[in-house]
A = this chain, B = another copy of it.
Amino acid sequence: MTAIAGSTPSVGGMSELAAIALNCSLKAEGPSNTEVLLRQVLDELEGHDVTTDIVRVAARTIHPGVLSEAQGPGDAWPELREQILASDIVILGTPVWLGNPSSICRRVLERMDAFLAETDDDGRMITMDKVAGVVVTGNEDGAHNSIAQCYQGLADVGFTIPANAATYWVGEAMQPVDYGDLDETPANVASTTAMMAANLVHVARLLKEHPYPAG
């Protein structure tokens, strides 16, 4: 599954980092604009020697709820939760629907709500020292609002948000173009994606080597 247990020595003696990208597309399979942009982020992260993994959340069955435990048979959250907790960098990727992040994205945040009450022996949330970023795509409008909602939810449950920890693409208002339709990546999107990845790595390394103090 993830390569986080991999033994490749980290570059320059720096801590090895693992990233997980959660694609909150409404589609369980097939082309996903959000996946296209998420993969560009992961490519950048790999260039920083981060091991990466990506999950199509809709292909699993995440039950409604706000607890870490399985909410009935077939609930895939406990397994996804373990993958998240095994990662240093968590990237929430979502399409925009009616100007907001997807119901799948909101569900992931709802399940993460349980982190608020889960502390380690030092009274720190189990997510502390992890960083989070956000990726948004849509055929029009809604990226900033989606990023705002995700930043707030993620910071509330213990993640650190590096500077410029998001990249996004939405098209002109009321037009049908999707990110996957573009012939090439717009230069501004590419540079934003690169900066996002570099910043995620920088803060993830710092926090891995210098954890937050006990609560």
Residues of A within 8 A of B (CB): 26-28, 58, 64-66, 97-104, 106-107, 109-110, 113, 125, 127-128, 140-145, 147-149, 151-153, 155-166, 168-175, 186, 188-189, 192, 195, 198-199, 202-203, 206-207, 210, 212-213, 215
Given contacts A26-B66, A161-B151, A161-B155, are A103 and B110 in contact (CB under 8 A)? Answer: yes
- Contact among B66, B186, B202 with A212 in the assembled complex (CB-CB below 8 Å): B202
The complex is assembled from copies of this chain, and their number is 4
Minimum CB distance partner of A96 in chain B: B144
- Contact among B66, B148, B169, B198 with A213 in the assembled complex (CB-CB below 8 Å): B198
* List of B residues within 8 angstroms of A195 by Cβ: 215
17 A-B interface contacts by CB (under 8 A) = A26-B64, A64-B102, A98-B153, A98-B157, A99-B143, A100-B106, A102-B106, A140-B170, A144-B145, A144-B152, A155-B162, A155-B166, A169-B172, A169-B173, A174-B189, A195-B215, A202-B210
* List of B residues within 8 angstroms of A140 by Cβ: 170
B103 A107 Cβ-Cβ under 8 A: yes
B103 A98 Cβ-Cβ under 8 A: no
Q: How far is the CB of A198 from chain B (nearest CB, A)?
A: 6
Given contacts A26-B64, A170-B172, are A110 and B102 in contact (CB under 8 A)? Answer: yes
